[in-house]
Structure 1
């Protein structure tokens, strides 16, 4: 099959690396000439937000998928009209890429998500009690397009464009669960992972699997995933980001209709990775076993503050000496502060050992120029 991917970043790169176990042709579209997929696929440099560019890219493909949701969903809909298979479908991409539609989807389907109101412009009267979170309707990614409004003085910092105002959850843990559905309606769910964020960068720092959750919390998550998969009405792989509050209630933060940073530890920690699962979804094959082997975790490698330029990885030689430790670099030649450059997966026999190893590895590596 000719498989087209909108986006040529690290997610597409790792998808293709895994899918090379099979026999297909892979085409990618990305605005950056040196995108991570440019040298491992039939690469087209172009804007995946431009209607005609997406249409021209996808019209001769057997299937078109995405590795970033901020693409032209109208072009995806037209490709569907022309008989091209689009995974996930254009309707759910359009719903998820707009926070307002995404929140309304949760509300309509009784999926627990924090209370919200929509602010279309800066002149609206705000009813949401303080403190609350403001999320841009479109374009937010990796912690960007999100801010917390805590006091009346903070109102001066409100963005004036269409946004969602959302109740602030008293968070105990941030969790993620990756689910998959193929065209035949078969579904699979990966074990829940715990996400530990870097408070300064607002990016994922560590990812830990399995999590330590009560039976009640696990049941809440199971209900959320079952409802989502029953109502999404599209094949695809989806990362559902969750909040567990301090009273034991689970809330959906948001969903990504694609491969996700919170699933990277599945490369070595699970019977099959999220990338294998995504391939099977795209091809409408039987879905893969998602069982965990042991405790697994992931550490993001991000550009250090104060460094921009040709990347240098300090400490990788020492990391490569460690047992059950796996380095994944993204093929990006230029680093800048906070840029995701790679990740390291670690396996361990206990949660305590896993955390010790992740902290040790983080201290060993520096991404600089």
Structure 2
């Protein structure tokens, strides 16, 4: 990358949510101007982007016209128009992650088939097109029914344990995944640059909301053995290499009770399971994504200190202008780092922010994380 990039280089990001906001905060350190495209006039990036454009991410002309003014286009959300990105690439605009990778990951059906075809360990699955298809595979239960497209943040996922749950099945192209009897869920974030340099972050352990399938807590480092850690690291590298992807990839995995490591899903962008890297690692996931797509040397991913991340979700029963209860009490705790995303409106279980707690005593960290979860509430009046 020439020195000119520091003067007049324009990086476009499709999506102006919290991930884009934290990408901009990291890009500021490199003097990179960021142009944002987002359909929401009040998106979190609105007030900190060098340029903020309002437009539909799935519209060909909108994405194409936006991208023409950029040197490189990246994403913070997968639901974008990939045909426009392909045309931009043909015309000399760099696009990372590549449009073909985004297309594959947009469809969970294609994603699972890719794993199977490339000998990447994953849970057994059946492709279904209708609710009737799911009903006819009752002998495959217990299973998870996932929409092929447009499921995110826990939406588009139904657990079907017995035949009495079959009414929950989707009447749309989906897949039926064998329910995995796992010991724990982990995530490994891996980055790959254009010249092929690859680096992984240490695995983290995830704890999900029992109903809404959203991460509530993240623990770093994970408690898995060195042997399992090696498997997880190698698997993340294998996935990004076989995808031939440039950028940052979050690889969510199951660790089974028999010691297998299975890929669940991946996300080709900064991810909820990497927020803690801002305070807890030498290089944050956001800086690493920028280094990868700009083909700079990748950063040191070692953890500096143990951490726990707590997702701040909108309280059930509240919708409207967001108010934060208990913030002062939480800020009085040593090692607390609060990140509010700037979303004006709260809704039940909407991601409104996160808190990263750092410290060397694990028991104290866990106690403080529980305190944050119980006392910092996002409500409305």
TM over 0.5: yes
Match of 2:180 in 1: 169
Match of 1:138 in 2: 149
TM-score (norm 2): 0.94
The separation in 2 between residues aligned to 1:319 and 1:2, in whole angstroms, is 38
Find the partner of 2:35 among 8, 27, 38: 27
Match of 1:368 in 2: 379
The separation in 1 between residues aligned to 2:173 and 2:103, in whole angstroms, is 16
Which segment drifts farther, 77-86 or 175-184? Answer: 77-86
Gaps of 5+ in 2: 1-8
The separation in 1 between residues aligned to 2:166 and 2:178, in whole angstroms, is 15
Which segment drifts farther, 352-361 or 188-197? Answer: 352-361
Match of 2:170 in 1: 159
- SS of equivalent to 1:255: strand
- SS of equivalent to 2:78: coil
Deviating beyond 6 angstroms after TM superposition, the runs of 4 or more aligned structure 1 residues are none
1:303, distance to aligned residue in structure 2 (A): 0.8
Matched, 1:36 2:47: no
TM-score (norm 1): 0.97
The separation in 2 between residues aligned to 1:335 and 1:158, in whole angstroms, is 29
Find the partner of 1:60 among 69, 79, 85: 69
Deviations 1:107-134 (A, max 9, x none): 1111110011111234434376111111
CA contact (8 A) 1:117 1:128 kept: no
Q: CA RMSD in A?
A: 1.3
Where do 1:46-125 residues align within 5 Å?
46-124=55-133, 125=136
Gaps of 5+ in 1: none
Tell me: CA distance 1:128–1:91, structure 2 relative to 1, closer, same or farther (3 Å). farther
The separation in 2 between residues aligned to 1:202 and 1:129, in whole angstroms, is 22
State the number of aligned residues. 369
The separation in 1 between residues aligned to 2:35 and 2:306, in whole angstroms, is 35
CA contact (8 A) 2:158 2:168 kept: no
CA contact (8 A) 2:270 2:285 kept: yes
Find the partner of 1:271 among 282, 285, 290: 282
The separation in 1 between residues aligned to 2:317 and 2:171, in whole angstroms, is 31
Tell me: CA distance 1:39–1:152, structure 2 relative to 1, closer, same or farther (3 Å). same
